[in-house]
Structure 1
Amino acid sequence: MGARRLLIVSVSTGLASGIVLGTEARAAQDEETNVQNLPAIEVVAPRQAPRRAPSRAPVRSASTAKPSNRLYVYPTSPGTGRGIEVDKVPSAINAVDANQIKRTGSLNVTDALRDNIAGINISEVTGNPFQPDIEFRGFVASPVTGAPQGLAIYQNGVRINEAFSDAVNWDLIPTAAIRSVTLVTNNPAFGLNALGGAINLQMKDGFTYQGAEIDMMGGSFGRIQGSAQWGKQVDKNYGVYAALEGLHDNGFRNFSQSDVRRFYGDVGYKAGDSEFHVNMGAAKNDFGANATVPAELLDKYWGATYTTPQTTSNRVGYLNLTGKADATPTWTLEGTAHLRRYEQKLVDGNPTNVQECAIAGLLCFGDDTTPANGTNGMQLANPFASGTILGEIDRSSIRSTTFGVSGQATNTGQLLSHDNRFVMGSTYDASITRYDATAEIGSIAENYVVSGSGVFLGPTGTPVPVAGPVSLRTVNQYNGLYAMDTFNVTDAFAVTGGGRFNVARISLQDQLGTALNGDHSFTRFNPVIGGTYKITPELTAYAGYSEANRVPTPLELGCADPVRPCLLAAFLVSDPPLNQVVSKTVEAGFRGTKELNIGSLGWKVGAFRATNYDDIAAVPAVGRTGFGYFTNVGRTRRQGLEAEVNLKSPTLQFQASYAFVDARYLDAFELGSESPFRNPVTETIQVLPGDQIPAIPRHRVKLGIDYAVTDVWKVGGNAIFVSSQYLVGDESNQYTKLPSYTVFNLHTSYQVTKNFQLYGRVDNVFDRRYATYGQFFDRGALPNFANGGVDFSDPRSLSPARPRAFYAGMRVTF
């Protein structure tokens, strides 16, 4: 059965205060983290003195300068001298730079996040490696509509959680153009949905990247990919940058072809302390096989699929304007404006609740007496031969246009003769979305391919309607007002406080009737307070408390009635209210660095606890396969520990990390489930306080090493261990967990000449067969054709990970 895509709306594009470490521009071949826009957080280890320059070292097209160890909480060019020291940040610091992204050899930025940030885990809920779920501390940023989105994602200060679904389409992000990725926690200034934190992507421009590069790679499963980028600074005042990417992959599963096409460009102007940018981007991507697979089919063939077609087409185009200027020696003014157009089309083949009626020649829904009506309201005639296995092709489309503006003022003047930073700003974002969906009845062959018949469903049944055509227009308006202040009590002790006030209004306008009409408003003030203390020059302690919120989405608001559940793949049916989710987080830890004879040693350890109030969950409807509704389920809690140590030298880089995440329900509730342990009468399971939240592994261990064998030859690898996790549908924690897994990857590079590099990598070296995600499914919906057409006996449906894969590429720089 296709991964059920639930449509979620939550638009909260907020230009919030972030944290950025400034550095000077660096060569195209030696990219370095260098963030300038908001919101962001960035940490770069001090640059080591170079070894003897190799004869074939990459050519540098720009000089390097001593990096700054100061952080910026507003969108500005680095080097202005107004940043906050790294040790004044009262939260955990996680960052990935362009070199770490390049080292993966992947056009998926999520691969670099997985490898380099302790608390991040990746699962392929969709079944496609280019549309993964990112999970951090038990909160997710997922392309699957209906997932409880708990991370806000920003690109150059613009929130890119999609306007209608609030999902995150990682495939739309131009990976080659990324200068850095930073993860900010414990900061409500990032606006709506930053329950677990915010991930910010800072892009390259002509001031931070000069030169040109062409990168091509190919390998297993028909993978062919390439990228090209070019940057130039003209007359010190102008900068131009452009990147282009393309990828084709046949996939290891049936019907799993992927095609990715992306472009990004930036034109900048800099004069004195003023800087202005226009950047734009576009993407056109197509994917297949976005579904879990019954475990019994995977036992027969690891590349199996279940109910086809399963396709996704994503399109995006955007234009952003940013500017900043120093009004006085202590005041900086900044502003942004952005426009984004997003389109998505889903085709999802599934089993269906439509069946032959007791009266021959007619179709019924749910049983053999309730009429299944067409779009004209009349009962459907049965166009299929008796005994045909019926299925359904659910199609949906989203067309969203988002516009936003923001302004911010920053003051770095002293307060009471102490260093102080004060930031205040406001944001406004508006989105208009048109959503349409249809359901076509079809037949299912023994290869689980659903063939359409041209017969479409309309509203059917009482009181539960079949998913009929839906046409909905939504308007989202989000406003934010925030202020943050960091006061240096002493040179070693700094205190940060502030908050953000969010106002959200969501309007739903049913285009085919009135059932979905609604107007919902939400307000919330989220405070933050924290502090840092530099115990020694090499050791800093931090602690903080913050709150954040997310508002219900149009899907959740339009599908919240237990009496009238909706087909979670595509449809809305009614419009009752839901409460917004509020998360309260406390975080504390230590971090430090020390220079040793063998290199620079860095380490950090921290603990966190986040409690969600009025958390929202999708609840399956009893007796209706694929139907469900959204409801507030009370409190949930995510708490844990993160620890990391790394060593960096000219010849060796080593990193080891461990993350523990304990995610639990704190209140009891009941929900429908396909679990073998469900009540046979009510078809529900009882969730009790203390039960673990499914799909969140408790333990993650990561090891990575890179070693320069010679000046031109480097080798490296990494290992990732992810512990077991409960299956979705087993919220009562009664079934066996999805097994843990360990995967090993290797990579190498050889600098043939100053401008030419060969590289290669092997993923999943030991060809481990494992699944990153699992759920229960309706075993009686379709026969097990691989086992003689009997019913499935294993209730699990899994997302299989890629088998061993080999890739090789070359990189040319100019």
Structure 2
Amino acid sequence: MLIAPAAFAAPADDAAPAADGAAETGGEILVTARRRQEAVQDVPLAISVVDAKAIEATGSFNVAKLTQLQPSLQFYSTNPRNSAANIRGLGAPFGLTNDGIEQGVGIYIDQVYYSRIASATFDFVDVERVEVLRGPQGTLYGKNTTAGAINITTRAPSFTPEGRAEVSIGNLGLVQVKGSVSGPLIGDKVAIRLAGSTTTRNGTIYNVTTDKHVNAQDNLGVRGQLLWKATDTLDLTFAGDYNRQNPDCCAQIYVRTGATQRPLNRQFAALAAAFNYAPPSTDAFDRVTDLDTPLKAKQEIGGASLRAELELGNGSLTSVTAWRFWNWDPSNDRDFTGLPITTVSANPSRQRQWTQEFRYAGTSGKLDYVAGLFGFHQKLHTSGLQVQGPAASRFLLNPGNVPAGSRGCATATTAACNPVVLNGLTSVNDIDFKNTSVAAFGQLTWHITDRLRLQPGLRVNYDKKTGAYTAIVTTGTGSTTLNADQRGVLAPQSYSPKFSDWNVSGDFTASYDVARDVLAYATYARSFKSGGINLSGLPLDANNNPILSAGSVKPEKVNHYEVGLKTQFLDRRATLNLSGFWTEINDYQATVTNGQLGVLRGYLANAQKVRVRGFEADFSVRPVQGLNLYASGAFTDHEYVKFTDAPCPPELSGGSTGAVASAPGTPGGVSPANCNISGQWLPGISKWSASFGGEYAVPVRLIGDDAQTYLGVDGSYRSKFSSNPSRSAYTDIAGYALFNVRAGFRTENKWDLFGWVRNVFDKNYYEVLALQSGNTGLIVGQPADPRTYGATLRLTF
């Protein structure tokens, strides 16, 4: 469902005017969601399509921006590594990324699987269309797609010479340049395509400590493709790409404080007062911070692939071979303040992956079929470093009972009041990870009649994960002999978690053509997400030793039910698509906050059961020539059906242990060892979300050419959602609506000049909220972009 509106979908008839969509021309929107080309309205699947024209017009130049057009797609990112793409609220645990588990939303570019979600933060380079497939896609796209898949197709090399160029300038120093050229290299046998993109923009947050604006953009991407028509039946496509980001990023800043169960003189206000510290602003939308650790978010992603397509018998045989790399070089301020609590937090990583897929798609009588083999191997190495500063003892250690007015220190010899205890405490982490997956899959479409089709699918998958985590911790004097307070903050650990298992995924879909332009379908899918291993350090027992049983998490087991209706009417000038879904996941993989007092990172755990259910609707229409209107909406009901031993939210954390917990937010109160959050919201999911808008174009004569002048408006809305794995009164993000406008002139296949304003009403809202470690009550967040404006010139030749 949620097929893109006519203005956002490319008709099969390329001769149609740029402003014309499939609804008016009668052209069909073609997709490859089922690994063969077919009309999107014939696919019994919840799918939406955004073509290059819509991406360019709306400024949706990466997955994060695409969410304003796709109500069921969510993207959260505190930095490129710690990013998550979710569909219908599912896909990846909410919180810091743990390398030992899979994403639940697979990203594919030109049929190559991208295992690093960081790739979603890069600009689209020379993209032809983006298909967002909702619901489990385990049969054809693999076990890493329990929530859906994002299938991106770039423009192919052309034997007709062509070129494109685009320049955008805007406030905040925005400069974005894109371009591509394509044409024959050797007659009608070899064609080449080269493309590039670069984006730079100043940061939106001013750091008074460094006198710099942070949360900037600095993206570079290049891509090349070579198409060789080796024979009349064999095409070979060689492709390579390189992408780099190197911005001053990514700051999370002071938002508010909330009362926890810690003693009052151990909460943020009192701790800050002990250092005569105050944040430069207590209004996050002043966009000012004083972070004292340099921020860095440098990453490189690239690779090469060979796709071979051979017409064979009644179908085609496809081989996709690919190698990819990811290099991550960060620096973070993990205490979110200008105080020297954590002075270094960096986990530079290097990843290499290899994939191979063989697939045959064909037709025989009343049967369409796809069958294939897939192999994946990944190697990852991370060299982590964390260093505590002179303020760490006061913030992270518990001094016990102290007199009133003492600002949290009874005597200078108390560990919490002695900076030497934690100052210079250093953890050097060495992390290795290997991940191997092999699979055999097949999907059959049986045309029982001209109207009725049955589509069973099956995938058999084997996964093996091995890891090694070693943390060597030294004191400020270089000693490896630690006391209990020091081990409670940075614990020496060495463990080698493993996971291996077979699983079987399957789906069954029945579809029926109720009328010429009315398709009804029903789907059941049984899907799995591979089990994982914890590679961010383990929680500690009462003796501050790692709990080895927490080294792995179970696979997710998904049962998914969906019904849908796809319709077109008014001579295909109007499209209305509807779907309803019900998804239950047992052993849901969650990133949870470690409840121990000083520990700075979360870890993985299984929630017993979660449920997401709802409905989606999309309507688009062209009532008159030149006018496109669309509205898409989603209702999503979501909850932890059963999660009885979850970490508690901050208002119930940080107190003493006891049989009866105190009321939430009672300073010096009693905290439960864990919390039963069954029936509560899942993080990151809005109950209501929508996108809407339209464009009106009027023919004009301009500089002797037939042209159009046009005005476009796009809006989006999402209701309140939780920004913490265990819902907290302090981390709910209020609902918000955004509006973008654009206006300009264009000619067909020559040029397009328009001005644009995004977030027209300068709405203040947060992308994410998070907690400072140690249960101090500090809530930090990432303010979203303010109003931005600029102009774009696009040339086609």
Q: How does 1:63-82 map to 2 (within 5 A)?
A: 73-74=34-35
Q: 1:154 pairs with 105, 108, 118, which one?
A: 108
The 3-state SS of whatever aligns with 2:645 is: strand
Identify the residue that residue 624 of structure 1 maps to in structure 2: 598
> Shift in Å at residue 662 of structure 1?
1.4
Cα pair 2:341 2:391 within 8 Å, conserved: yes
Aligned ranges 1:663-682 → 2 under 5 Å? 663-673=638-648, 675-678=650-653, 679=661, 680-682=669-671
3-state SS in 2 of match to 1:320:
strand
Give the residue type in structure 1 aligned to 2:234.
S
CA offsets 1:46-71 (integer angstroms, 9 cap, x no match): 5628xxxxxxxxxxxxxxxx658686
**CA distance, structure 2, for counterparts of residue 494 and residue 517 of structure 1:** 48
Q: Aligned in 2, Cα 1:429/1:127: closer, same or farther, shift over 3 Å?
A: closer
Distance 1:525 1:558 in 2: 29
Q: Deviations over 1:572-611 (max 9, x none)?
A: 9997332111221111111111134xx7100111111111
Q: 2:675 aligns with which of 667, 681, 686?
A: 686
Output the CA distance in 2 between the equivalents of 1:607 and 1:127: 33
> Which one of the candidate residues 499, 518, 524 is aligned to 1:520?
499
Q: Kindly provide the amino acid, as one letter, of the partner of residue 611 in structure 2.
A: R
Q: Deviations over 1:189-226 (max 9, x none)?
A: 21122111111111111139851111111111111111
Q: Which amino acid aligns with 2:127?
A: A
Aligned match of 2:309: 324
Is there any run of 5+ residues in structure 2 with no aligned partner, and where? 1-8, 207-213, 257-280, 396-419, 473-492, 654-660, 662-668, 700-706
| Equivalent position SS for 1:663 | strand
| Counterpart selection for 2:239 from 279, 288, 313 | 279
What is the deviation of 1:273? 3.5
Say which SS state the counterpart of residue 590 (structure 2) adopts: strand
Matched with 1:803 is 786
Structure 1 gaps, min length 5 = 1-20, 33-43, 50-65, 76-82, 354-386, 449-460, 782-791
Q: Distance in 1 between matches of 2:127 and 2:16?
A: 11
Asked whether the equivalents of residues 612 and 635 of structure 1 are also in contact (C-alpha less than 8 Å), the reply is yes
Partner of 1:489: 448
2:528 touches 2:558 (CA, 8 Å); kept in 1? yes
Corresponding residue of 1:116: 69
Which of 693, 699, 709 is equivalent to 2:688? Answer: 699
Deviation string, structure 1 residues 488-536 (Cα, Å, up to 9, x no partner): 1111110000211111111224578992324321211011101111111
Aligned-residue CA RMSD (Å): 3.7
2: CA distance between counterparts of 1:304 and 1:572? Answer: 40
Asked if 1 retains the 8 angstrom alpha-carbon contact of 2:164 and 2:180, the reply is yes
Aligned equivalents of 1:652, 1:630: Cα separation in 2: 50
Match of 1:295 in 2: 255
1:684 positional shift: 5.4
Partner of 1:530: 509
- Please say if residues 559 and 565 of structure 1, whose CA atoms lie closer than 8 Å, have aligned partners that are also in contact: no
SS at match of 1:704: strand
Structure 1 position 251, deviation (Å): 1.9
Partners of 1:351 and 1:735 in 2: CA distance: 18
Matches within 5 A, 1:13-52: 26=14, 45=22, 48=25
- In structure 2, the CA distance between the partners of 1:300 and 1:344, relative to structure 1 (3 Å rule), is closer
Contact 2:721 2:733 in 1 (8 A): yes
Q: How does 1:707-718 map to 2 (within 5 A)?
A: 707-710=696-699, 711-718=707-714
Structure 1 487/713 Cα, relative in aligned 2: closer, same or farther at 3 Å?
A: same
Counterpart residue number, 2:173: 222
Within the alignment, does 1:198 sit opposite 2:149 as a pair?
A: yes
Give the AA of the match of 1:616: Q
Residues 749-773 of structure 1, C-alpha deviation per residue, up to 9 Å, x if partnerless? 2137973332111011111112232
Q: Please point out which of 165, 181, 193 is paired with 2:131.
A: 181
Structure 1 Cα separation of the partners of residues 170 and 525 of structure 2: 46
Deviation readout 1:645-676 (Å, 9 max, x if unpaired): 00146401111011011121011323334522
Amino acid at match of 1:117: Q
Counterpart Cα distance in 2 of 1:300 and 1:23: 44
* Deviations 1:391-445 (CA, angstroms, capped at 9, x unpaired): 321111111111121111223011xxxx211211011111122111112344689
User: Partner residue of 1:541?
Assistant: 520
CA contact (8 A) 1:327 1:333 kept: yes
Q: Which amino acid aligns with 1:396?
A: N
Is 1:212–2:163 an aligned residue pair? yes
Contact (CA 8 Å) 1:558, 1:572: kept in 2 or not?
no
CA drift at 1:102: 1.1
* Alpha-carbon distance change, 192 to 302 in structure 1, aligned in 2, over 3 angstroms: farther
Gap change, CA 1:22 and 1:724, over 3 Å in 2: closer
Counterparts of 2:249 and 2:636 in 1: how far apart (Å)? 30
CA distance in 2, matches of 1:221, 1:656: 31
Task: Give the aligned residue type for 1:713.
Answer: T
Cα distance change on mapping 1:604 and 1:560 into 2, 3 Å: farther
* Structure 1 equivalent of residue 198 of structure 2: 246
Equivalent of residue 644 in structure 1, options 618, 639, 645: 618
Alpha-carbon spacing, 1:23–1:769, altered in 2? closer, same or farther (3 Å) = closer
Q: Work out the CA distance in 1 between the residues paired with 2:360 and 2:543.
A: 47
Aligned to 1:433: 380
Q: Which whole-Å CA distance do the structure 2 matches of 1:397 and 1:127 have between them? A: 13
> Is the CA contact (8 Å cut-off) linking 1:495 and 1:529 kept in structure 2?
yes
Q: Residue by residue, what CA displacement relative to the aligned partner does 1:458-486 show, whole Å, maximum 9, x if unpaired?
A: xxx99xx9872111222211101101100
1 CA distance for matches of 2:445 and 2:783?
47
Does residue 634 of the first structure (1) align with residue 616 of the second (2)? Answer: no
Match 1:745 to one of 740, 744, 760: 740
Residue 313, structure 1, aligned to residue 266, structure 2:
no
Q: What amino acid is aligned across from residue 520 of structure 2 in structure 1?
A: A
Return 804-813 or 752-761, whichever deviates more: 752-761
Indicate whether 1:398 and 2:371 are aligned.
Answer: no
Percent identity for Structure 1 against Structure 2: 19
How far the C-alpha of 1:261 sits from its partner, in A, is 0.6
Distance 1:665 1:582, change over 3 A: same
Which whole-Å CA distance do the structure 2 matches of 1:562 and 1:218 have between them? 52
- Specify the code of the residue in structure 2 equivalent to 1:223: L
Q: Structure 2: how far apart are the matches of 1:134 and 1:210? A: 36
* Structure 1 residues 412 and 278: CA distance shift in structure 2, 3 A: same
Is the contact made by 1:620 and 1:671 (CA closer than 8 Å) also made in structure 2?
A: no
Counterpart Cα distance in 1 of 2:30 and 2:220 = 37
Residue 88 of structure 2 corresponds to which residue in structure 1? Answer: 137
Deviation at 1:180, TM superposition (A): 3.5
Shift of 1:558: 6.1
State which drifts further: 630-639 or 683-692: 683-692
Q: 2:579 aligns with which of 598, 606, 622?
A: 606
Letter in 2 for 1:709: V
Instruction: Read off the aligned partner of 1:327 and give its amino acid letter.
Output: L
Q: 1:458 is matched with which residue?
A: none
Secondary structure of the corresponding residue to residue 99 of structure 1: helix
Shift of 1:388: 8.1
Indicate yes or no: 2:534 matched with 1:584.
no
> 1:765: which partner in 2?
760
Structure 1 residues 249, 280: CA separation in 2 closer, same or farther (over 3 Å shift)? same
- Aligned to 2:450, what secondary structure does the other structure show? coil
Per the TM alignment, residue 542 of structure 1 is displaced from its structure 2 partner at its CA by: 0.7
Task: Measure the CA separation in 2 of the matches of 1:317 and 1:69.
Answer: 28
Aligned residue runs from structure 1 range 404-423, under 5 A? 404-414=355-365, 419-423=366-370
| Native 8 Å contact 2:130 2:150 kept in 1 | no
What is the letter of the counterpart of residue 811 of structure 1? R
The change in CA–CA distance for 1:768 and 1:388 in structure 2 (over 3 A counts) is closer
Distance 1:117 1:620, change over 3 A: closer
1:400 and 1:587 map into 2 onto residues whose CA distance is 36
Shift of 1:242: 1.2
- Whether the 8 Å contact between 2:321 and 2:356 is mirrored in structure 1 is yes
